[in-house]
Structure 1
């Protein structure tokens, strides 16, 4: 399983590994980069760091489209290389089963026939949406190979000229030069001021709104109580109807499930958290986890969210909103939607507690 940030641009949906996302912000004024390729549309000053910005539409050879003030810039980060990418709409981080990633498209086209092929690691069909998964390392290496001139001198253009390229004090030749070098030339005066204000805020801001150091967790419910587990331990989420009960086993072991030829033991951890076991329904959900090689399915009510947790927010000595919940099997709690969310310690639950799944079955 992998977690990806998905976004739309020019009616296509792209995905990027969440671990390579540094931050996301609304489109600011960009400074032109001398002798840059057409697809590198400018640079942004983010707290003193000059980052080039790419238009995927131009990189892949499609027709140029207009920009809008509601567009976003997604900043990629890998081994100190950084690149901004224009996006029309950014979605939440999604969990994608990497076994479903393929090079085959649902219509008679292969990846090698796509203009994006060089920078795409694969495609995945998620519900009714086709997602093109970009290779961040290739995008960053390509940008590095351009040997762009990135320094603060790019931003020393007079703001008056930026705000009004039709300034009457300029000659027609000077106006034409400005039209060609100013980003988003069709922007209105109001939009230009908004873009410049955003650029100023990015340059002067000190608080980094990013994913750096954050840990993705999956949030689900048990008896209407919210819990979270580290996404790195999650193999997949499933729905099932049939399973095989196992006689003479502890109460928490519900039985075995055949998942594509692999036998998975299903367990119910509600009682470990002082929650009443409600039994199974006609259709049930489970999260398949792998804890140090022990693979089990944990019965859950529903999957609610994929959330990027700041480990510094984890509190070890506070209760969840439900004080009856057993704290022994929690790593701690974090603030989530005006509540305190318990993060389950799966190592303790599966291997160190009363369950000992690998020995009980």
Structure 2
């Protein structure tokens, strides 16, 4: 049987696959520049080392409603006969080799999917973890108004031309907080650099935040969003680290302060603190931070053990340290902090 390799990813709770041969590269979602009069499924473009590449909202392309983008979203760049286009997904999972007998092309009432049809699916794979829908990348891209109507023949190459082109366009992700927008923009700036393609295999994406003048990093995948602290409702008879509840677009989020757990002074916390909304298993909470600095990719070899001088009752919540800017950054085990740090109030008490 003929084997085909597929890149498997998740989008809105469903699993999809696209043939790996057409995948050029993968990176976290950067700031995009919306294009006037572009098709509705094209969110915008990104300057990828001098090439302006259109980015598709795959949810809209598949006929679903659009959604708010998150810092944890990724972009998969597809290359089809020299044309590049990106698709936005929630999470990239793995590359799988599938044989023909694992793929079904009979989806509805025995009707087979023809390679020449305009269907976006080429089949479904029956796997132990559930069903994976396999996308026809060619149909997905070319049966659209996208390709020839969007990209001009002469793409601006110089930094001045690109900056002038992008300055005339609309604003990406208008509901993003200033902290989220700064991270999106930094990612876009990094992609503009004329460097060789980065290999992200084995790297750990970290969100870098500031507390009391110190840098801390933790797994980016735990971050749902960043937001300003506003209209906090105190909760009576709770420990000091429970700041209160905040209504975030109709969802009540409990805001906590992890400084005491890290042996940091609570009195020195900023009055202009932000909150990062994180999710660990079934728990959702807001954690106060002073600043949101960066998203970085950490090489495992760059992580160092926790220095003996800081070994204390809180070192179980530190995974290690790593150099960042002119200081050392502490790597937090945020999952353990939330689940085992006694920060969550038992409602039965």
> What TM-score do you get using the length of structure 2 for normalisation?
0.48
**Larger Rg computed on CA atoms:** 1
TM-score (norm 1): 0.47
